[in-house]
Amino acid sequence: MRTIVVTGCSTGFGRIVSEQLARAGDRVYATMRGVDGKNSGVAAELRGLVQADGIDLRVLEMDVTSDASVEAAAETVVAESGAPDVVINNAGQMFMGIAEAFTPGELARQLDVNVVGVHRVTRAFLPSMRQAGRGLIINVSSIAGRMAVPFFSIYHASKWALEGYSLGLRAELASSGVDVVSVQPGPFVTELFGQGPAPADEDGRAATYPPSVPQARAEMDAAFEGIFADPDMPTDPQMVCDRMVELVNMAPGTRPFRSVVGVDFGVRERNDADAPMDAGVLDAMGLTEFATLRT
């Protein structure tokens, strides 16, 4: 039995993969914020599965934007189960709209969830994982961290940052036996789309843009709706969860750093081109030992 921690389990990928891994025989900590509040219904449903199906699925409060909440959750996990074998940083939000219309505070909130939140969780579990000399961290990124289009600038900023963080962290932890990988979903039918915060735009900046800009936004929204409505398009969230499970089950030292899932808009080719360059940077700096996971 492996101990696995998953963040953002109230909906989407997090909820699906936490149940999937628990049914496979792992002990899974399904974490989310508002266990006794806004997500109490989801928490009750997951706890009901434990009673009905006899799986080891433990619902745990964790708000990735709170140092105290993350640290308390980590203490609980380590006290009950020791160092986790896997941490899946899945919690995230997608801010969408004209970049100028977002205030600096709104940008900071996007980064706090998608980047700083990942660091909070990772930092909370790393001491025990490094001491154990093993483990896997899966950061759920996005193809948005490898490309850029209008109206996603704030979201892109967070996912490009997460990609850089993950790549550097992977090298830092290689000698400790802790692996780091990035899963990059394309557009999928989850709550991420449709619930992304729009800019407050209190001073009306969006209205000063040419008509072609909101028109392009409407056309982009329609294009995504078409993708989601097409039964032949790869937009089933289960695909992403299956890839995460595959990565969990791979032998240490054999996992690719980047895994694209679904519609990719050419990101697979970019990843393939960048992989040798990533290795080349370490080689040029005399850091080749950081490219190989200690197993």
**Contacts of 78-83 spanning 24+ positions with Cβ under 8 A:** 78/125, 78/128, 81/3, 81/27, 81/29, 82/3, 82/128, 82/132, 83/3, 83/125, 83/128, 83/129, 83/131, 83/132, 83/134, 83/135
The Cα angle at residue 59 between residues 58 and 62, in degrees rounded to 5 = 125
Please tell me which residue in 10, 69, 166, 182 is annotated as part of the active site.
Answer: 10
Nearest to 24, CA basis, from 64, 55, 66, 65: 55
Q: What is the DSSP track for 160-199?
A: HHHHHHHHHHHHHHGGGTEEEEEEEE-S-SSTTTT-PPPP
Is 10 an active-site residue?
A: yes
- Which residues lie below 8 Å from residue 191, measured CB to CB, with a gap of 6+? 11, 12
Please tell me which residue in 18, 159, 182, 259 is annotated as part of the active site.
Answer: 159
Is 141 an active-site residue?
A: yes
Please tell me which residue in 142, 155, 166, 182 is annotated as part of the active site.
Answer: 155
Beta bridge partners of 181: 138
Nearest to 27, CA basis, from 50, 51, 61, 44: 50
Please tell me which residue in 69, 81, 141, 142 is annotated as part of the active site.
Answer: 141
Q: Which residue has the tokens 């993950």?
A: 166
CA dihedral 191, 194, 117, 42 (to 10 degrees): -30
- Which residues lie below 8 Å from residue 19, measured CB to CB, with a gap of 6+? 28, 30, 46, 49, 55, 57
- Residues 60, 29 contacting (CB under 8 angstroms): yes
Is 29 an active-site residue?
A: no
Active site residues: 10, 141, 155, 159
